[in-house]
Amino acid sequence: MGFMIPRLPIAANGPTFSRLIYGTWRVLDDASTATPDNLLARLHACLELGITTLDTAEIYGLYKVEEFIGETLKREPGLRDKFEIVTKAGIYVPCEFHPDRKTAHYNASAARLVKSAEKSLRLLGTDRIDLFLVHRPDWLTSADETAEGLNKLMREGKILHAGVSNYNVHQVELLNSRLDRPLVTNQIEFSLLHMDPIFDGTADQCQRLGIRPMAWSPLAQGRLMSLDNPASVRVHAKSAELADKYGGASLDQLAYAWILAHPSQPLPIIGTNKLDRLQSTARSTDIQLEREDWYALWEAAQGRQIP
């Protein structure tokens, strides 16, 4: 057996996930790769690398990605059982399926979460969702009602665990106080170009609760790889200085290693549709950044020294 990404529990009573997670946000963006056969090849590549956790959401691809994943998994009986599936619900926008909607909105009411989860089960072709996340805080739904939906889904075994995405510290604490079983993660935006979790308390809260966050857009939605902003230019230069020290590591490998080094132990979500990028990114789990190098990348991204 070759290189394998490690697995770890994301909470004391939570699921065990791979250290890197395969994300499907952009899986339908490129027509040349948006076929079940192509996705099937990537899923097999994930398994060969030890990536066993698959992240999706009801809204991805304007409500088309879950069905696409389900169609792909059906092509190979037993493949679904080799993955932990994470999906999210709570964002509703005007689209071809719902021309009656006029305004994008959030809805984390009990009835809506149950309906969305049941739809996800059907589209994904599975009898359970390993981790179900409330995609965004809904300012018009009480914590009691959101918890009612999550508690019902967990009691019925339709979802095995519950979590949230993009919640602040206070929202996590409030929802947790109403749940039968505590949240097992907060999926947050975290990258060298988006360090809010370090400063806003969400990463600290994960440590306090003993849960590991999931990190979306670890390459800042591609901005980190371009040279169209001063921060990415500085990070490019610093990563080039550090590359030889870490076995010729690429910028994206060092960017993932930077996130992985944080003591909250985030699980970054890989969003590529390219096999070579997937394989390259996997190697970032082998990079142990030295303390000064982690801060050197922080300094490059921030454009200033530490306070």
Q: Containing H/E element for 43?
A: helix 36-49
Question: Residues 22, 60, 246, 256: which is the catalytic one?
Answer: 60
C-alpha to C-alpha distances, 275 to 151, 219, 243, nearest whole angstrom: 38, 17, 22
Pair 188, 202: CB distance under 8 Å: yes
Dist. CA 125–CA 73, nearest whole Å: 8
Helices 230-242 and 291-302: crossing angle in degrees, nearest 10, is 160
Torsion angle of the four alpha carbons 177, 178, 184, 185, in this order, in degrees rounded to the nearest 10? -80
DSSP per-residue codes, 126-177: -S-BSEEEE-S--TTS-HHHHHHHHHHHHHTTSBS-EEEES--HHHHHHHHT
Dist. CA 29–CA 65, nearest whole Å: 10
Nearest to 108, CA basis, from 187, 171, 27 = 171
Beta bridge partners of 267: 214
Pair 287, 252: CB distance under 8 Å: no
Beta bridge partners of 207: none
Dist. CA 31–CA 152, nearest whole Å: 38
Catalytic status, residue 60: yes
Q: Which residues are catalytic?
A: 60
